[in-house]
Amino acid sequence: MGYDVLQRAALAWEERPGHEGQAPRHTASVTDACSMTESRARMWRYPAHVRGRRHLDPDQEEVFVPVVGTLTMLLGEPPERVDVEPGGVVVVHIGTPMQARNETDEEITFFAYGAPPQSGNAQFLDDVESV
């Protein structure tokens, strides 16, 4: 039994390349910092008008929680746009196409959590224009 606490000031942010010529995103692993073994989690920062890669995960259910700013998700096929403000939650079930986006003029921060802790199995999909 035990627990880990990760304060905001202790987040170790890493730069991730931008998608299709966009500004880079930044991510901080909660999984590593908190020794998670049964799930995985990250904090993400997206600059204005930046998006992640559109994909589906065949093994993992994912949860997204905006912390600062409005997170836009494109969900399903065909994609449906969902805008979620801080305090809201998006749960993306296994095998559902998704894409996280920042469609605003300000940087956003969101928490992403997935279980089981599978990684590297995502199927990347063609990008789409905002809907």
Domain regions of the chain by residue span = 13-116
Helical residues (DSSP H) of 30-101, grouped into ranges: 30-33
How many CB atoms neighbour CB 115 within 10 A?
15
pLDDT in tens, 2-43: 999 999 999 999 999 887 788 999 999 999 999 999 999 999
* Phi, psi for 10 (deg, rounded to 5): -95, 0
CATH code for the part of the protein at 13-116: 2.60.120.10
pLDDT of residue 19: 79
Residues for the chain: how many in total?
Answer: 131
Tokens encoding 124: 């990347």
Residue 6 CB partners (closer than 8 Å, separation 6+): 30, 33, 34
pLDDT in tens, 97-117: 999 999 999 999 999 999 998
pLDDT of residue 69: 98
| 80-84: strand order across its sheet | 80-84, 71-75, 98-101, 55-56, 123-124
pTM of the model: 0.93
